[in-house]
Amino acid sequence: MTERLRLPALRVGHPLAALCFGLAALAPLAALAQDTAKATFAGGCFWCVEADFDKVPGVLETVSGYIGGTVPNPSYEQVSTQDTGHAEAVQITYDPAKVSYEQLLATYWRSVDPTTKDRQFCDIGSPYRTAIFTHGPIQMQAARQSLQKLQQTKPFEAPIVTEIVPATTFYPAEDYHQDYYRKNPVRYQFYRWRCGRDARLQELWGAS
């Protein structure tokens, strides 16, 4: 009979014990990661996109940043020159058990003006284009189906020019951009009003 391999008891401080305990501690984090998913949307000013998606039940985190360009680790000033190819965007971490990607798409469409190229409201230039950056083929299919359905049901005549492209590297924006609407509520609300964002959205989509 083959004798079973017996592992020695691991004392606290033993190198193998530290490794085992470390792996055990990482297990809940790995399980948590498997229960979340990411979505990335460009919809003009990322302050506003953050604010809109933070209201959605099931959204766990929103991060403002830059995506879609060729310059690594760009600054806000670089992106603003329109030479990097990046768009202002928000990367969303969400719980698929509480909100589906399709529901996030529905929220996205009604939070942007998809009829304008390289512009959102008062912000003009390629960094303010609308785009859906998909993470994998399932999101790509869902986004295309969502666009197809919207083209048949949209309450306006203008064509939709929003891009649907695979996600590339996402670079978080500077700290002062994160949660700007919470840190500077008066300035944020004034900017949103002055930019005419909500007025244009109501014009496009109706009061709802």
Active site residues: 45
Q: Which helix (H) or strand (E) holds 148?
A: helix 137-153
CB 17 within 8 A of CB 10: yes
Q: Which helix (H) or strand (E) holds 59?
A: strand 59-67
Distances (CA, A) of 43 to 10, 40, 132: 54, 10, 9
5 Cβ neighbours under 8 A, 6+ residues apart: none
DSSP H helices in 1-45:
15-34
Supply the DSSP symbol for 58: T
Taking the C-alpha atoms of residue 188 and residue 55, their distance in angstroms, rounded to an integer, is 16
Distances (CA, A) of 23 to 16, 28, 43, 134: 11, 10, 40, 31
Instruction: Report which residue type is found at 137.
Output: P
